[in-house]
Structure 1
Amino acid sequence: MVTEEQLAALDLTLWLGSTERAAEVEFSNQSTISRRHHKVLRQFGIELKRTKRELEVSGDLQLLDLERQVHQMARLKRRLGLRLQAPFWLQNSPGVVPPEGWTMNPQRVDLNCTDPVTLLREHVLDACLATPTQIPDNRDDLFILKLHNRPIELTLLNRNNQSESELADSFQWSLERGNLQLKLMPFLPASCRERSQEWFEELLTINQPERNKTMTLRPSRHSGQSFHMAYLTPEMRVAQPLPWLVDQNFEPYIYTEHLVVLAQHANEPAMLALIESLQQQIGQ
């Protein structure tokens, strides 16, 4: 009912959040992408809307879904134009390099995919590297492969080029007084930001008694400073620009990188090639 180019224009726009980014992946221009995806909207009588900074289509999507399945099978069989969503921190040098026939989202610090599994189920994506917070409880239709585990460590961000001892002292002083700020990296998906915020609030709650004890102490040389911290894996730390120090006094959380594909496609040659490639690059 619509051409591969036309449907790709719509689905890439949904995936990447704008016609500009879709054009970047398609080696096209913004006006061409816009013209193509509007043809799909008219053909299926649906609308494209932005809600909470995300794009989504609305209306009767049954025919669109069937068309997407046909186009996805064409990508799988030809092993061409396949779409892999990967987080920014895994695209950093040396970074993940997908096998031939696969395309990743552009490596942009401000670009993250909030719900890649839904896009996978809608046949917009062919595979995704998803965080634990993005994987739903209902997963019978999914093939989920654990690739590696990494520590999520409390990371002190050294904005003022302090020595290691000064940075640790500044953090402890700020922690005792609740004078901390959580830095949420722009490349983190919304669900990861929410989890980091939960851990940060737990950290402040645990140290509340200590803050009560120190309320009457004289201000130190750290008075007036704003101290930043973050919860990051080693790969995430490399992807952010500030010098840092891992606080070894706090037990790290465990982060697991997952590859997620539709179970019905797990044995396709294109998927097997992707699995083998990712296991060699980032698997254990």
Structure 2
Amino acid sequence: MVTEEQLAALDLTLWLGSTERAAEVDFSNQSTISRRHHKVLRQFGIELKRTKRELEVSGDLQLLDLERQVHQMARLKRRLGLRLQAPFWLQNSPGVVPPEGWTMNPQRVDLNCTDPVTLLREHVLDACLATPTQIPDDRDDLFILKLHNRPIELTLLNRNNQSECDLADRFQWSLERGNLQLKLMPFLPASCRERSQEWFEELLTINQPERHKTMALRPSRHSGQSFQMAYLTPEMRVAQPLPWLVDQNFEPYTYTEHLVVLAQHANEPAVLALLESLHQQIGQ
């Protein structure tokens, strides 16, 4: 009912959040992408709207879904134009390089995909590297492969290139007084930001009794200063430019990188080639 180029224009815009980014991946221009995706909207009688977090289509999507399935099978069989969503920190040099036929989202610090599994189920994406917070409880229709584990460590952000000893002292002083700020990196998906916020609040709650004991102590040379910290894996730290120090006094959380595809496509040659490539690059 619509051409591959027209449907791709809509789906790339949904995936990447703008016609500008869609044009970048499609090696096209914004006006062409806009013209093509509007033809799809008119053909199916649907609308493209922007919510607080992302773009989405609304209306009767049954015919659109059927059309997407046909186009997805064409991509899989031809092993061409396949779409892989990967987080920013895994694209950092040397980063993940997908096999021939696969295209990743642009490596942009301000670009993250809120819900890649939904886009996968809607046949917009063909595979995604998802965080644990992005994987739903209902997963019977999904093939989920654990690629590797990484520690999520409490990371002290050193804005003034302080010594390790001075940085640790400043952090402890700020922790005892609740004078901490949680930095949420722009490349983190919304669900990862929410989890980091939960851990941060738990950290403050655990140390609340200690704050009451130390409030009457004499002022420190750190008085009046705020302190920034973040929960980051080694790859996430490399992907951001701030100097840092891992606080070894706190037990790290465990982060698992997952590859997710639709179960019905798990044995497609194009998917198997992707699995092999990712295992070689980042697998255990």
CA separation in 2, counterparts of 1:78 and 1:198? 44
CA separation in 1, counterparts of 2:224 and 2:112? 34
Instruction: Name the SS for the 2:103 alignment partner.
Output: strand
Asked if the contact 2:48–2:57 (Cα under 8 Å) also holds between the matched residues in 1, the reply is yes
- For 1:62-117, what per-residue CA distance to the aligned partner results, in whole angstroms no more than 9, with x for missing partners? 00000000000000000000000000000000000000000000000000000000
CA separation in 2, counterparts of 1:69 and 1:10? 14
Instruction: Name the SS for the 2:229 alignment partner.
Output: strand
Identity in percent: 96
Shift of 1:219: 1.3
CA separation in 1, counterparts of 2:105 and 2:221? 45
CA separation in 1, counterparts of 2:164 and 2:194? 29
Asked if residue 93 in structure 1 is aligned to residue 89 in structure 2, the reply is no
Shift of 1:218: 1.5
CA separation in 2, counterparts of 1:8 and 1:215? 59
Cα RMSD between the aligned structures?
A: 0.4
Shift of 1:53: 2.8
Asked if the contact 2:158–2:243 (Cα under 8 Å) also holds between the matched residues in 1, the reply is yes
Instruction: Name the SS for the 2:143 alignment partner.
Output: strand
Aligned residue for 1:64? 64
Shift of 1:226: 1.5
CA separation in 1, counterparts of 2:216 and 2:10? 60
Runs (4 or more) in structure 1 with deviation over 4 Å come to none
CA separation in 1, counterparts of 2:53 and 2:32? 23
CA separation in 2, counterparts of 1:119 and 1:167? 42
Aligned residue for 2:76? 76
Asked if the contact 2:48–2:58 (Cα under 8 Å) also holds between the matched residues in 1, the reply is yes
Q: TM-score normalised to the size of structure 2?
A: 1.00
- For 1:116-162, what per-residue CA distance to the aligned partner results, in whole angstroms no more than 9, with x for missing partners? 00000000000000000000000000000000000000000000110
Q: TM-score normalised to the size of structure 1?
A: 1.00
Shift of 1:261: 0.0
Instruction: Name the SS for the 2:191 alignment partner.
Output: helix
Shift of 1:217: 1.1
- For 1:222-270, what per-residue CA distance to the aligned partner results, in whole angstroms no more than 9, with x for missing partners? 0111210000000000011100000000000000000000000000000
Q: Greater shift after overlay, 248-257 or 215-224?
A: 215-224
CA separation in 2, counterparts of 1:53 and 1:219? 43
Shift of 1:280: 0.5
Structure 2: any 5+ residue segments left out of the alignment?
Answer: none
Asked if the contact 2:134–2:191 (Cα under 8 Å) also holds between the matched residues in 1, the reply is yes
CA separation in 2, counterparts of 1:118 and 1:190? 14
Aligned residue for 1:122? 122
Aligned residue for 1:18? 18
Asked if the contact 2:120–2:126 (Cα under 8 Å) also holds between the matched residues in 1, the reply is yes
Shift of 1:194: 0.2
CA separation in 1, counterparts of 2:147 and 2:52? 31
- For 1:167-215, what per-residue CA distance to the aligned partner results, in whole angstroms no more than 9, with x for missing partners? 0000000000000000000000000000000000000000001000011
Instruction: Name the SS for the 1:255 alignment partner.
Output: strand
CA separation in 2, counterparts of 1:225 and 1:163? 16
Shift of 1:49: 0.2
Matched length: 284
Aligned residue for 2:177? 177
CA separation in 2, counterparts of 1:130 and 1:224? 40
Shift of 1:6: 0.2
Asked if the contact 2:53–2:114 (Cα under 8 Å) also holds between the matched residues in 1, the reply is no
Structure 1: any 5+ residue segments left out of the alignment?
Answer: none
CA separation in 2, counterparts of 1:272 and 1:94? 22
CA separation in 2, counterparts of 1:60 and 1:197? 37
Instruction: Name the SS for the 2:96 alignment partner.
Output: coil
Shift of 1:52: 1.1
Instruction: Name the SS for the 1:146 alignment partner.
Output: strand
